[in-house]
Structure 1
Amino acid sequence: MRHPKELALIEREMMLLSRHQVLATTRTSGGADSQERLERSAYTLLSRIETEGPLTIGQLAEAFGLDTSTVNRQTAAMLRAGLVDRIPDPDGGVARKLRITDEGMRRLHHDREWSIQGLAKVVGDWTTEDLAEFADILERFNRDIEKLQGRPWPRA
């Protein structure tokens, strides 16, 4: 194994990072605003639909490597909340696709801004170079995971 000490340190830091959840899922700020925050699954699914355009439940399940029934439950909750609606496939396919509603887009962008503001607090004293280097390493790390899983995330 390559660099066992460094890999152990990375594993530990990733475990610690996952416990924080300060960037996208904290609901401790209180007030009515905190009740409106998206569930993590909704945030991720909406982000994917925003990036790719309308998708079927099957396409979403494949993109995330999840069972269709899991994605069906998650998207049913999003439909009930008015975050997405079902539309005929613009390409003429049989399956209906999920499209983000105006409310879904508003809430996605609100949560993204909230997340970015939380991130800004964490890295407030980092240089632009530090931020760029960290972003590059994170992207490389995510792309390598995506390559292993065969599920690339579309990027602009």
Structure 2
Amino acid sequence: MPSAAPEEVFSAAELDVADELGVQLVRFMRLITKSKSQVAAAGPDGIERAAYAILFHLIHEGPQRTSRLAEALHAEISTISRQSSSLVQHGLVERQADPEDGRACLLAPTTEGLRVFEENRKQRNKWLAAVLADWPEKDRQSLNELLDRLNTGIETNIPKVADPMSAQGKGADA
């Protein structure tokens, strides 16, 4: 059995900075959720805001099976099926035969889906421009660079979920 890597040791100052970042990230997520719910409350299209994540993913990653979307969006297949059905009913997404397996289908954005996505993107960009309107250009650029660095760091350091069976085995050996 491979041995576990030694736990990294961080200084109190590093942990304090990480704690403050954690507080700010939680605050940020709450504010984003609040602003999304405000947009959703005003939206007349009847589409769940979460369904737009499917449309976004399809536009950026290409046609996908429901199972792959669920994996990529960390959601249950039943949730993705329900949300994608709504997108299909509204003409934003279409089902296509999977060229690798004719029994399966892929979800793909329609021309209307692309139009709606771009409209939502323009609205988001106007809102963010208003949020940053009084920031100096250098600060806006720094924010983008630092967020990119943070996102890259998170992508490369996603915590591994412990296997409950291996945890039980460790208890028996101790």
Find the partner of 1:4 among 5, 9, 15.
15
Residue 14 of structure 1 corresponds to which residue in structure 2? 25
- Please give the per-residue CA displacement for 1:70-112, whole angstroms capped at 9, x wherever unaligned: 21122122112221010112x4334211111122111111111
The structure that has the greater radius of gyration is 2
* 2-structure distance, mates of 1:29, 1:75: 20
Task: Find out whether 1:93 has 2:104 as its counterpart.
Answer: no
* 1:53 to partner: Cα distance: 1.2
Residue 49 of structure 1 corresponds to which residue in structure 2? 58
Residue 154 of structure 1 corresponds to which residue in structure 2? none
Find the partner of 1:64 among 65, 73, 83.
73
Structure 2 residues not aligned, in runs of 5+: 1-9, 160-174
Q: Give the counterpart letter for 1:78 in structure 2.
A: L
Residue 102 of structure 1 corresponds to which residue in structure 2? 111
Residue 157 of structure 2 corresponds to which residue in structure 1? 148
Are 2:92 and 2:114, in contact at CA under 8 Å, matched by a contact in 1? Answer: yes
* 1:24 to partner: Cα distance: 4.7
| TM-score normalised by length of structure 2 | 0.72
* 1-structure distance, mates of 2:152, 2:15: 22
* 1:149 to partner: Cα distance: 3.9
Structure 1 residues not aligned, in runs of 5+: 151-156
| TM-score normalised by length of structure 1 | 0.80
Runs of 4 or more consecutive aligned structure 1 residues displaced over 4 Å after TM superposition: 22-25
* 1-structure distance, mates of 2:136, 2:22: 25
Task: Give the percent of matched residue pairs that are identical in Structure 1 and Structure 2.
Answer: 27
Are 1:24 and 1:115, in contact at CA under 8 Å, matched by a contact in 2? Answer: no
* 2-structure distance, mates of 1:56, 1:46: 13
Residue 88 of structure 2 corresponds to which residue in structure 1? 79
Find the partner of 1:119 among 128, 138, 141.
128
**Judging changes above 3 Å, is the alpha-carbon distance between structure 1 residues 29 and 122 closer, same or farther for their aligned structure 2 residues?**
farther
Are 2:40 and 2:49, in contact at CA under 8 Å, matched by a contact in 1? Answer: no
Identify the range of structure 1 (47-56 vs 92-101) with the bigger mean alpha-carbon deviation: 92-101
Identify the range of structure 1 (37-46 vs 3-12) with the bigger mean alpha-carbon deviation: 37-46
